């Protein structure tokens, strides 16, 4: 998986003009029901943030592309849920996830509008929340408002670690005249470790505080 991510990131760097469209396609697929669980968008967005910091990619192109993809992906999943109702939950691809869907249904009923925002940041939830909110017949205007706002928050939050790490490395290199590639490797590894630890910490804290959220985010 790491080699695949690196290959995609290298391709995006070589085709900077199309970075927004390419990253948008990734976030679109990552936001689709079920399929999203297998798309490594988070790692790519961290890498894209670093490339924005170094001037390789245009920030507005990346942000607009990613937000558009995330909004459209959730909108499609929501529309399918509204259109098909409970029939959508009987898809063969969803059969292995019945337990998670049951928890997600409880989660969506409890948190309502807020579930759109929270779901963006938890991998297991992200693939099911829009579909479930559609099945529960949330008002379209309500969902789309949360969809657009949460997409901006999520994209900026995913880009930030790579961006800040790259900026910090550039300053450190200027101050210490250290070897650039070594700093990139150390800084990149540190950023990934911090992100993973932070997400695990948030997930564990949620599990302790709320059994419904814990069940919905359990892998």
Q: Is residue 53's pLDDT more than 60?
A: yes
The torsion of the CA quartet 166, 3, 192, 41, rounded to 10 degrees, works out to 90
Burial of 160 (0-12, 13-18, 19+ CB in 10 A): middle
| Rounded average pLDDT over 59-88 | 92
pLDDT band at 17 (very low <50, low <70, confident <90, very high): confident
% of the chain surpassing 70 pLDDT: 71
Distance CA(118)–CA(129), nearest Å, equals 10
Does residue 178 surpass a pLDDT of 90?
Answer: no
Average pLDDT of the chain is 78
> Please, are residues 108 and 210 in contact by the beta-carbon 8 Å criterion?
no
What are 120-176's pLDDT values in tens digits?
A: 887 667 888 999 999 999 999 999 999 999 999 999 888 888 887 777 655 545 544
What gap in Å lies between CA 65 and CA 92, rounded to an integer? 31
Q: Does the pLDDT of residue 201 top 80, yes or no?
A: no
Of residues 184 and 212, the one with the higher pLDDT is 212
- Is 87's pLDDT higher than 90? no
CA distance linking residue 215 with residue 18, whole number of Å: 39
Specify the pLDDT at position 34: 73
Query: In this structure, are residues 70 and 155 in contact, taking their beta carbons and an 8 Å threshold?
Result: yes
> What pLDDT does residue 135 have?
92
- Segment of 1-5, 43-47, 64-68, 210-214 carrying the highest mean pLDDT: 64-68
Q: What is the mean pLDDT of residues 50-65?
A: 89
């Amino acid at each position: 998986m790491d080699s695949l991510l690196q290959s995609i990131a290298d391709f995006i760097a070589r085709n900077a003009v199309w970075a927004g469209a390419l990253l948008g396609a990734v976030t679109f697929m990552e936001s689709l029901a079920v399929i999203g669980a297998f798309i490594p968008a988070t790692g790519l967005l961290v890498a894209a943030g670093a490339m924005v910091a170094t001037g390789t990619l245009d920030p507005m192109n990346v942000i607009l592309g990613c937000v558009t993809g995330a909004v459209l992906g959730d909108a499609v999943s929501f529309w399918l849920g509204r259109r098909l109702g409970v029939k959508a939950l009987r898809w063969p691809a969803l059969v292995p996830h019945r337990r998670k869907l049951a928890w997600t249904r409880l989660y969506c009923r409890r948190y309502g509008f807020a579930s759109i925002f929270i779901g963006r940041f938890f991998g297991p939830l992200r693939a099911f929340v829009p579909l479930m909110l559609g099945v529960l017949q949330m008002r379209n205007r309500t969902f789309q408002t949360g969809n657009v706002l949460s997409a901006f928050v999520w994209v900026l939050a995913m880009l930030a670690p790579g961006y800040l790490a790259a900026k910090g490395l550039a300053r450190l290199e200027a101050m210490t005249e250290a070897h650039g590639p070594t700093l990139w490797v150390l800084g990149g590894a540190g950023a990934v470790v911090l992100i993973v630890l932070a997400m695990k910490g948030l997930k564990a804290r949620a599990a302790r505080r709320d059994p419904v959220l814990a069940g919905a985010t359990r892998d």
